[in-house]
Amino acid sequence: MRALSFSRALALAAIVLGLLFALLSTTANHALMDFVIRLASLAIFATSLNLLAGYGGMVSFGHGMFYGFGAYFFALTMQRAGVSIPVAIVASILGSALLAAIVGVICVRLKEIYFSFVTLAFQMLIHATILAAMPLTGGDQGLRGGVPRPPFLGLNLSNQKQLCMFSAFLLIVCLFAMHHVVSSPFGATLRMTRDNADRAAYLGIAVDRVRLKAFIIAAVFASIGGLLQALFVSGAYPDFAYWTVSGEGIFVIMLGGTTTFLGPLLGSVLMLLLNDFVSRFTEYHGLALGSVILVVALGLRKGVGDFVVDWLSARSEADASERTKTTEAAS
Amino acid sequence: MDLDSLFSCFASTSCVITQTTSGFIIGMLLFLVAVGLTLIFGILKVVNFSHGVFYMIGAYLALTVYQTTGSFPLALLAGGFGAALVGLAIERAFMSRIYGANPLMQILVCYALILIFDDLARLIWGGDFRSMGMPDVFQVPPVFIFGGVAPPYYIFVIAVAAAIAIVLALVIARTRFGKIVRAAAHNPAMVSALGINTVAIYALVFAAGCLLAGLAGALAAPVRTVSPGMGFSILIESFIVTVIGGMGSIAGALVGALLIGMLRTFGALGFPLFNEGLMYIFMVMVLVIRPSGLFGKEAA
């Protein structure tokens, strides 16, 4: 895994953001703008799951709980407290960090499949709590009445184009921040605890503390994905906290590839395109999606992103050996 | 919260008996699904997230056979063996390719199977909730024990599940086949080197797990609604059961299933809105105290 240096990543993020803004400012295509907003929400969530599962080796099957929690916490703060959007975002980040700290303390001690189970149980607990706390969350009807979007800093998020720009901005900022996390010394330590926890412990690393930190960081970004979704649909629904969100997240990172940083972003694009394409042609959405998953999972045995990277490196190696052969032949 | 009704239930024998019988039937159905899950995990080392699919297949097959032939025993057999056949096909086609693979990959393949089979069920049987109705044999007045109600069908299900638990325990503990299965769980390479076909053993164990899940679905069909999503809710509960009891332990599955059954029926009285939440809290508590479950081996 090659990591870009801080200044290079920053420059790249700025350039991509500038290009995106230039592109989006010229378009008036509503479907495209919706796509960007949905993509931002899904890609932030999927990349945060990859931070946990791919880089940290913690296959969470309950990562969606933070997505749902972020959506509800943000929407409720906007509805009840009447604060501005940035304040509510900061509040949601703090809230989900606190929840992640509590859940994480219990979960990170567990290994492999037990970790997956307990995170799944917590996810269902959050889901059950949302359903039970009727007066606050609206139960199975979801949180209705709309999320107010008061203008801030000259931005009016009720305007679809401005919401789209804001989503693109959040996506790039979050990707940059997460890239910084995985390429930092902390990221290296996290990968070490994934590859050989015993060795890391012998080297004096507090393994559980590193895993807990990663758990909290990933949860914070997942909640940003969730609150973006709440902002987009102007509400929050129990489905956001259901286990299928976690299942989809796992599918997205497997589809895109877990060994490259941008794999989950690629997976999110493919997943959304696939979803739109499939639901246009058939009502048996699961049948089509499931078949594609089986083909990708059992056929490629790795994500599309990993596949492309391996193929490219195999080709360049082949090229290199070809070249040495020709030079040998010439001499 | 409605703790008053919970306490007033504990005050009367009849209420306790009625609740305990319903706790038992929930627990026993759960045991049949969970024991398959735990066997498959213990021997194949795969967490079969798609196990609920076979429960659903069993229920639908039983429903169809019962409505066409009118014979309940035939419906039970169709549910069990139909699910086992589908399970065998899936094991050969998909599961056998992911033994020992990255857990992400295993979860993903199972997720795909759930999506596919839920939709197939919708395609074949329609998406609406269906009900099989109580077979004529069991349409008799309930038995009263100390004033508590125990429908005959509940007693039948409890007896069938208990018989299966005993047979299963004897097969695993006493027979040559059981010995081979235990050895294969411990060291498959050595078993295979001794000339035993471990591939066939794996397929058989997987199919047996599916048979039990299918049978549970068939047994549940008269008392529960049959719908495409029914597999998932029982899957989550049986996971909780296996995790509480300890992955790979048959006794653990039985104890865990009965505990969850009781928690559900008595919890429904005290916490009607947060009944499911209780289960998750219970599971988290067990895992915090004993991460490998009540009957699991240490060092998990």
Higher pLDDT, A277 or A49: A49
| Partners of residue B122 in chain A, C-beta under 8 Å | 284
Listed by number, the residues of chain B in 65-124 with a beta carbon closer than 8 Å to a beta carbon of chain A are: 94, 97-98, 101, 103-105, 107-109, 111-116, 118-120, 122-123
pLDDT in tens, A196-232: 888 888 888 888 899 999 999 999 999 999 999 998 8
Token pair in block for residue A204? 């004096």
> Which of A13-27, A93-107, A224-238 has the lowest average pLDDT?
A13-27
Q: Coil, strand or helix: which one is B298?
A: coil
Q: Residue A91 pLDDT more than 90?
A: yes
Domain locations along chain A: 6-242
Closest CB to B104: pick one of A120, A132, A250.
Answer: A250
Cβ–Cβ under 8 Å, residues A244 and A70: no
Token pair in block for residue A165? 């720009």
Distance CA A64, CA B150 (A): 41
pLDDT for A326 equals: 66
Q: Is B294 on the interface with A (CB under 8 A)?
A: no
Q: Is B239 on the interface with A (CB under 8 A)?
A: yes
Q: Residue A2 pLDDT more than 60?
A: no
pLDDT for B298 equals: 54
How many angstroms away from the CA of B143 is the closest CA of chain A?
35
**Local mean pLDDT, 10-residue blocks, chain B (300 residues):** 75 81 89 90 85 93 90 90 93 85 80 88 84 78 74 88 91 88 85 86 91 93 85 85 84 90 86 80 82 67
Closest CB to A114: pick one of B105, B281, B300.
Answer: B300
Cβ–Cβ under 8 Å, residues A246 and A52: no
Distance CA A231, CA A147 (A): 7
DSSP bridge partners of A155: A152
pLDDT for B150 equals: 78
pLDDT in tens, A272-315: 888 888 877 777 778 888 888 888 777 777 667 777 777 778 87
pLDDT for A44 equals: 95
Q: Which CATH class is domain B3-289?
A: mainly alpha
- CA distances to A6, A50, A184, B104 from A259, rounded to whole Å, are 20, 9, 17, 13
Confidence of residue A331 (pLDDT cuts 50, 70, 90): low
How many angstroms away from the CA of A294 is the closest CA of chain B?
6
Q: Coil, strand or helix: which one is B79?
A: helix
How many angstroms away from the CA of A86 is the closest CA of chain B?
33
3-state secondary structure chain A: CCCCCHHHHHHHHHHHHHHHHHHHHHCCCHHHHHHHHHHHHHHHHHHHHHHHHHHCCCCCCCCHHHHHHHHHHHHHHHHHHCCCHHHHHHHHHHHHHHHHHHHHHHHCCCCHHHHHHHHHHHHHHHHHHHHHCHHHHCHHHCECCCCCCCCECCECCCCHHHHHHHHHHHHHHHHHHHHHHHHCHHHHHHHHHHHCHHHHHHCCCCHHHHHHHHHHHHHHHHHHHHHHHHHHHCCECHHHHCHHHHHHHHHHHHHHCCCCCCHHHHHHHHHHHHHHHHHHHCCCHHHHHHHHHHHHHHHHCCCHHHHHHHHHHHHHHHHHHHHHHHHHHHC
Cβ–Cβ under 8 Å, residues A57 and A50: no
Cβ–Cβ under 8 Å, residues A64 and A241: yes
Q: Is the pTM of this model over 0.95?
A: no
pLDDT in tens, A229-252: 998 888 888 888 888 888 889 888
pLDDT for B167 equals: 92
Higher pLDDT, A326 or B181: B181
Give the amino acid at A88: A
Q: Coil, strand or helix: which one is B225?
A: coil
Domain locations along chain B: 3-289
pLDDT for A329 equals: 62
* Most A-contacting residue of B115, B278, B285 (CB-CB within 10 A), to test interface: B115
pLDDT for A95 equals: 95
Mean pLDDT for chain A overall: 85
Distance CA A190, CA A184 (A): 10
pLDDT for A330 equals: 61
| Mean pLDDT of the A33-57 span | 91
Compute the residue count for chain B. Answer: 300
How many angstroms away from the CA of B139 is the closest CA of chain A?
36
C-beta atoms of A114 and B287 within 8 A: yes
Confidence of residue A1 (pLDDT cuts 50, 70, 90): very low
Q: Is B289 on the interface with A (CB under 8 A)?
A: no
Confidence of residue A46 (pLDDT cuts 50, 70, 90): very high
